[in-house]
Amino acid sequence: MQTVHDDYFTAYETLKLTRGAEGVLIVEFHSNGGPCTFSALHHTEVVDAFHRIAQDRANKIVILTGAGGDFIIGVDWSSFGDVADPGVWSQIHDEGTQVLENIANIRVPVIAAIEGRAHIHSDYALLANVIVAAEGATFQDVGHYAAGVVPGDGIFTTWSYRAGAGRAEAFLLNPQPLSARTAHEWGVVAEVVPNGKALSRARELADVYLKAPEVTRRDTRIHFIQPLKERIVREVGYGLSLEGASSAALMKSMQARSESVAREAKSA
C-alpha cells in the first residue's frame, strides 16, 4: 500500500520532523531552532502538520517533544493580531479545534517527551498515550486565566480527562508550575526520569511498542483515544467561543485603560 510522501517533513518553520528507518517520527516544537514560544505561525502550521502526520502510514510511532530543553515556554501574543476582530478569532477558533482533532486522529501510539517547561499547550502533550517527563519538568497554563481569558481551547478538556475535573479547575484557576512528580501522582505523567533523559526514554518505549503487530498498535491507539476524542469534538469549539468572547472583553478593557491614561496625561 502506498503511503503519503514525506516531503511535508521540511514544510514547516516551527516544527522539526525526523523519522528513522523503524518508523518512529519525532516532532520537535521550536522557535528558530531554540525553545518554542508559540506564535500565530505555529498555530497555523500545527494544523496541517498533524493532519499529514496522521495520514502517513509510514509513521509507526509518534514522539512529541520540544527544542532547547523545554516543551513550549510562552506565547508571542502580538503575532496573533487583534483578537477582538471576529475575523481574526474565527481563524484562531478553526485552527484551535482542528489541531486537537488532528492529533487525536493520529492512529499510532503517541508518546510525549517533556523536558523543562510545558507552560503553553500542554494539552498537545496530554493527547499522547504516555507522557515521559524529566525530573525538572513543570506544567503550567500561562496563556489563559493568568492572562485574563477563559481556558477554553482544550486545556480544560485534556487536564480534566487525565487528572480529574477538580484538580484541573484548581490548576487552571490558579496557574502555578506543577512539578513532574505531582503530575505523576495525578496520573498525568507515566514516568519521571532524570533531566535530559525524557526523549531517550521515549525512544526506548517506542522500541517496546514496535514489537506488537502494526494493526494491533494502530487499533490500540484508536481504542484508547476515542473517549477523549469525543470530548474534544463536543467541548472545544464551545470553549474557544467563550475564550474569544473573553479575549475581546480583555482587549476592550485594556484599550479603555490606555485611553484613560492618555486623557490624564493630556490634562496634567
Q: Residue 156 pLDDT > 70, yes or no?
A: yes
Q: Do the domain assignments include residue 158?
A: yes
Burial degree of 133 (CB within 10 A; 0-12, 13-18, 19+): buried
Q: Do the domain assignments include residue 255?
A: yes
Average pLDDT over residues 58-62: 97
Q: Do the domain assignments include residue 63?
A: yes
User: pTM for the complete prediction?
Assistant: 0.94
Q: Do the domain assignments include residue 102?
A: yes
- Tell me how many domains the chain contains: 1
User: What are 13-43's pLDDT values in tens digits?
Assistant: 999 999 999 999 999 999 999 999 999 999 9
CATH number of the domain bearing residue 112:
3.90.226.10
User: What are 165-185's pLDDT values in tens digits?
Assistant: 999 999 999 999 999 999 999
Domain that holds residue 222: 6-267
Q: Do the domain assignments include residue 1?
A: no
The answer to whether the beta carbons of residues 168 and 160 sit under 8 Å apart is yes
Q: Do the domain assignments include residue 66?
A: yes
Q: Do the domain assignments include residue 204?
A: yes
Average pLDDT over residues 182-192: 98
User: What are 63-83's pLDDT values in tens digits?
Assistant: 999 999 999 999 999 999 999
d(CA 178, CA 165): 16
Q: Do the domain assignments include residue 165?
A: yes
**DSSP at 159:** H
